DNA sequence: TGATATCTTGATAATGATTCTCAAGTTCAA
DNA sequence: TTGAACTTGAGAATCATTATCAAGATATCA
């Protein structure tokens, strides 16, 4: 169900941190890996229930945090106050273009913007860590 | 305490929307206008209490939403899940550079980035509405 | 292969920011 | 001045996320 690469990336991370492997953690990774992108914790909970009945909400949240630390997942704090998660194993950074009518999310990346962001960090004496850029507008389907 | 311009901008907005003027609304606007930038609703509540004892939390939240609609205030959804507000009467758009150690917030704007963002909207067939860009790093004071 | 120390889990309670409810108080156009 | 419509404050409700903790699973080492 899951690439060996993903599974061993999880294993390696757990070992490195002195943590333990579990079926639950693997199932959550599977859902994040195979499911749609930008799922909420609640959606991930439901999908994981199908593969592992009885799993609890707390485990979903704990595991998502773990996967983020392992670099296998990225958390996106949305304007509606709900976090969404997406698989990030070996994926490149990207930003989001979001339709305010239908909620459609398009992933974008502009190398020139990325470069200018780095410059902003430097000019202001900051050590760059990460950034978040969300562009809100109305998509072509909703413009009519 | 407040520019006539701010006061009448509030009045105009309320009139236009069929809403009513109140001392509470004026005081909240005053706090947002005169106080520090990027205050949380809780901080605005405390500051407003000093000027208008007895004001309730609900009124603070309701008024902040109103001021945002009126274009007098801008809401910033922060990573810690708490919203911060800043006066926006006639102010220009800006983005935020945030120190992950001390929480310091520097306001920045890069016209070139703004231009490229517009291009991203167009290229993807979106009608631009707004955007949010936050750069997270460690500021020079915290780098040591 | 056990014993065991440590980590993980699920149920549930707690948290904390924000929103809702509603009776009582205000505003303002007529 | 009057009254319909809007606001307010107190407290309850919401809702995503965290914390708690006893019971269960994992991995290490003899
Ligand atoms: Zn980017
Ligand atoms: Zn994405
Ligand atoms: Zn900008
Ligand atoms: Zn600002």
Q: Select the residue from B127, B128, B138, B143 to test the A interface by mutation, using most A Cβ atoms within 10 A.
A: B127
The arrangement of secondary structure in A95-143, i.e. its CATH architecture, is 2-Layer Sandwich (3.30)
Q: Verify whether the Cβ–Cβ distance A124 to B106 is below 8 Å.
A: yes
Q: Verify whether the Cβ–Cβ distance B116 to A121 is below 8 Å.
A: no
What confidence score (pLDDT) does residue B10 get?
95
pLDDT digits (tens, 9 = 90+) for B75-116: 988 878 889 999 987 667 889 998 888 878 899 999 999 999
**Higher per-residue pLDDT: A42 or A79:** A42
What confidence score (pLDDT) does residue A58 get?
97
Exposed / middle / buried, residue A133 (Cβ in 10 Å: 0-12, 13-18, 19+): buried
Strands of the sheet with B39-40, listed across from one edge: B39-40, B83-87, B73-77
* A29 band by pLDDT with thresholds 50, 70 and 90: very high
B65 touches chain A (CB under 8 A): no
**Residues on chain A touching B118 (C-beta within 8 angstroms):** none
Backbone conformation region of residue B71, classed left if phi is above 0, alpha if psi is from -120 to 50, else beta: left
B127 closest CB neighbour out of A119, A132, A137? A137
Q: Verify whether the Cβ–Cβ distance B135 to A126 is below 8 Å.
A: yes
B80 touches chain A (CB under 8 A): no
Strands of the sheet with A83-87, listed across from one edge: A39-40, A83-87, A73-77
What confidence score (pLDDT) does residue A90 get?
60
Q: Which ligand is nearest to the CA of B73?
A: 4
Residues in chain B where the model's pLDDT stays below 50: none
Q: Verify whether the Cβ–Cβ distance A125 to B116 is below 8 Å.
A: no
B104 vs chain A: nearest CA distance in angstroms? 11
* pLDDT at residue A96 is higher than 80: yes
Does residue B111 approach strand D to less than 7 Å at its CB?
Answer: no
What confidence score (pLDDT) does residue A2 get?
67
What confidence score (pLDDT) does residue B102 get?
81
**Higher per-residue pLDDT: A60 or B71:** A60
Strand C and chain B: which residues 28-87 have CB closer than 7 Å?
40-42, 57-58, 61, 65, 81-83
What confidence score (pLDDT) does residue A26 get?
96
What confidence score (pLDDT) does residue B2 get?
67
Domain spanning A4-87: CATH 3.20.20.105? no
The residues of chain A that CATH labels 1.10.10.10 are 4-87
Q: What DSSP string runs through B18-32?
A: T----HHHHHHHHHH
Q: Verify whether the Cβ–Cβ distance A137 to B129 is below 8 Å.
A: yes
Query: With b meaning 16 or more CB within 10 Å and e meaning fewer, what string describes A77-97?
Result: bbeeeebbbbbbbeeeeebbb
CA atoms of A119 and B109, how far apart (whole Å):
12
* pLDDT at residue A66 is higher than 80: yes
Q: Select the residue from A133, A134, A142, A143 to test the B interface by mutation, using most B Cβ atoms within 10 A.
A: A133
Q: Residue B15 CA to D2 C1' — how many Å?
A: 21
How far does residue B106's CA lie from ligand 3's centre (Å)?
A: 13
**pTM of the entire structure?**
0.80
What confidence score (pLDDT) does residue B16 get?
94
* A92 band by pLDDT with thresholds 50, 70 and 90: confident
The residues of chain B that CATH labels 3.30.1490.190 are 95-143
């Amino acid at each position: 169900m899951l690439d060996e690469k993903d599974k061993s990336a999880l294993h390696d991370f757990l070992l490195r941190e002195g943590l333990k492997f579990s079926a639950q953690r693997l199932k959550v990774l599977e859902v994040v890996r195979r499911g749609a992108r930008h799922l909420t914790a609640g959606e991930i909970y439901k999908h994981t229930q199908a593969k592992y009945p009885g799993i609890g909400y707390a485990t979903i949240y704990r595991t998502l945090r773990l996967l983020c630390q392992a670099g296998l997942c990225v958390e996106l704090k949305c304007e509606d106050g709900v976090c969404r998660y997406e698989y990030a194993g070996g994926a490149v950074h990207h930003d989001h273009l979001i339709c305010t009518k239908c909620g459609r999310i398009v992933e974008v990346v502009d190398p020139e913007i990325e470069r200018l962001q780095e410059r902003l960090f430097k000019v202001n004496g900051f050590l760059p860590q990460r950034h978040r850029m969300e562009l809100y507008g109305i998509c072509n389907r909703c413009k009519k």
